[in-house]
Amino acid sequence: MHSEVERIAEMAQTGERMIERLRRQAFLPESRKELTVRFGIAEAASLLGCSTNRIRMAEDDGRLPPPPPTENGRRPGYGINDLLNMREVLGASPARAPLDNPAIIAVQNFKGGVGKSTVTTHLAHYFAVQGYRVLVVDCDSQATTTTLFGFNPHFNITREQTLYPYLSIDPTQTDLLYAVQKTPWPNVDLIPSNLELFDVEYELAASGADGGSVLASRFRKLKQGLQDLARDYDVVILDPPPALGTISLAVMQAANSLIVPLAATTPDFCSTVQFLSMMDQVTGQLAEAGIVVDYDFVRLLCSKFDSNDPSHAMVRQIMEQTFGPALLPVPILESAEISHAALRMMTVYELERPIGTARTHKRCKGNLDEALAQVEVLVRKGWGVASPASEQEVINA
């Protein structure tokens, strides 16, 4: 007869097998995630900030290859690779200038269930669709972000592929290049995580009398490693653990921007206030130890907002009164489309067609674009540039 403790191990093992079954079912036939999303010419033109005629003219004069027609003669639309090529040919790349600092954004809250990993992955894919070069770093041993990118942390990722060889007490790597994995998105790379990354917390906690100096060196090391990697990217997005630990502190010190997701409930509001208070204390203590924490921007983003729930509206009003302009004005709405995509280990930006109704999908994607564009505006302000204007806006102006 199994003890209850043994039952935990049994449930964990059967759970891991079920995750692998779900992954294989989602990514048939090769059990590997592929990006199949396509964009019509009108949507492509909108993303590039140009007219459809300009795209057609570039196709007619040979600067751009036309998308191959389907059997019924219709255009199948453009893939992400096509869009990236179009940006290069038509001079519509939003990439930062060489002297601009890459945005290194930590998406952090110590309260679980606020959609931290969902915000991280959707933000990464939003920036990818807009044409930026993106690196996502999963620093959470629960590895939800790694899973959403199509990897099974238990079967596909080893400890040597995570941050562990770089941050451990006895490091075997001197930079972070070893950990960078390609994803189905041509302009998004990932440093994955798995449960063994938590060993870093154990090791540093057991470092004895030298704990403080070891900790400080790890903080500086992660920041330096990320800054070195970031040279090849426009945006780096960090997903730290939802708790105050060594890795969380190192991530918050390595970032130059902070997004705090929170749901519109009283417990989430109270927990976030505690998180901000704890951040204030910790940054003060780090400053005393000679470790400076500074951000280009700190913003709160309301996630999982149900516009039909009066209690959500009430709590959001409290947030607005409390946080003022630090709270981004457009929340991420609660949507079945996000939940359905997550069940397939995807984001809404990866869906080739709506899972629910076309109306629900359009509303969800439109809201995500509007909410996440707020972060893009902050990033571009840091580079001293405004968001690119469309040809129509220029003409009207």
User: How high is the pLDDT of residue 179?
Assistant: 96
- Half-sphere exposure of residue 176, counting CA atoms within 13 Å on the CB side? 27
Three-class secondary structure of residue 238 per DSSP: strand
* Domain boundaries, given as residue ranges, for the chain: 14-93, 103-396
Residue 28 has pLDDT above 50, yes or no: no
Check if the beta carbon of residue 203 is closer than 8 Å to that of residue 169: yes
Residue 287 has pLDDT above 70, yes or no: yes
For residues 88-98, give the mean pLDDT: 94
pLDDT, tens digit (0-9, with 9 covering 90-100), for 181-239: 999 999 999 999 999 999 988 887 776 545 556 677 777 889 999 999 999 999 999 99
Indicate the pLDDT class of residue 304, thresholds 50, 70 and 90.
Answer: confident
Q: Rounded distance, CA 220 to CA 224, Å?
A: 6
Residue 196, Cβ neighbours under 10 Å: how many?
A: 17
For residues 253-257, give the mean pLDDT: 92
Q: Which of 23-32, 66-75, 330-339, 361-370 has the lowest mean pLDDT?
A: 23-32
The one-letter amino acid code at 35 reads: L
User: How high is the pLDDT of residue 94?
Assistant: 95
User: How high is the pLDDT of residue 22?
Assistant: 64
Nearest to 222 by CA among 190, 177, 175, 158: 175
Q: Rounded distance, CA 87 to CA 381, Å?
A: 21
Three-class secondary structure of residue 305 per DSSP: strand
Fold of the domain built from segment(s) 103-396:
Rossmann fold (3.40.50)
Q: Which residues pair with 78 in a beta bridge?
A: 39
User: Using the 8-state DSSP alphabet, how is residue 271 labeled?
Assistant: H
For residues 365-390, give the mean pLDDT: 88
Q: Rounded distance, CA 252 to CA 279, Å?
A: 9
User: How high is the pLDDT of residue 71?
Assistant: 66
Residue 121 has pLDDT above 50, yes or no: yes
Query: Regarding predicted confidence, which is higher, 3 or 230?
Result: 230
User: How high is the pLDDT of residue 4?
Assistant: 56
Tell me whether domains 14-93 and 103-396 share a fold.
no
Q: Which of 200-209, 313-322, 348-357, 364-373 has the lowest mean pLDDT?
A: 200-209
* Predicted TM-score (pTM) of this structure: 0.88
Mean model confidence pLDDT for the chain: 86
Q: Which of 189-203, 303-317, 374-388 has the lowest mean pLDDT?
A: 374-388
User: How high is the pLDDT of residue 288?
Assistant: 83
Whether the link from the prior residue into 29 is cis, omega within 30° of 0, is yes
CATH class of 14-93: mainly alpha
